Amino acid sequence: AQKVTQAQTEISVVEKEDVTLDCVYETRDTTYYLFWYKQPPSGELVFLIRRNSFDEQNEISGRYSWNFQKSTSSFNFTITASQVVDSAVYFCALSEAGSGYALNFGKGTSLLVTP
C-alpha cells in the first residue's frame, strides 16, 4: 500500500502565482519523519525540509512554507510567488521507526512554472 500519496501528478502555474503541493501519509508509528525533496531537470535530489512527528509547528523559509497537520496526516508544501526556477519534480517522503527509518517516497508532483 502506498504510504505517501501525492495526488497531484502535474501542476502548471504562471510565474508569481502561489502553488500548494499536497502530501498525505499513512503510518501507525508515533515516531516518524516527513521530508520534501526537489528534483530539478538535472536529476539530483535536493533536500528541502525534515519534520519530526512531535513538532507540528509550521515552517517558513523564504518563499517556501510547510503545513504539517497530524489530524489529517498531511504535510503540504506551498511556494509563494512562484518563479521559473521552481520548475521541478517535488517528492514528499516518510520515514518510520517501525520500518527502520527507510525513506518511503511519494510518486512526486511535477511543477511547471511558465513566464
Judge contact between 11 and 111, C-beta under 8 A.
Answer: yes
Least separation in angstroms between CB 105 and another protein: 4
Smallest CA-to-CA distance from 115 within 87, 68, 78, 83 is with 83
Least separation in angstroms between CB 62 and another protein: 19
Examine residue 37 and tell whether it contacts another protein (CB under 8 A).
Answer: yes
Question: Which range in 21-29, 54-62, 71-79, 93-101 contacts another protein by CB under 8 A?
Answer: 93-101
Which of 39, 80 has the CB closer to another protein?
39
Which of 42, 71 has the CB closer to another protein?
42
Residues that bind another protein (CB under 8 A): 33, 35, 37, 42-47, 50, 89, 91, 95, 97, 100-103, 105, 107-108, 110
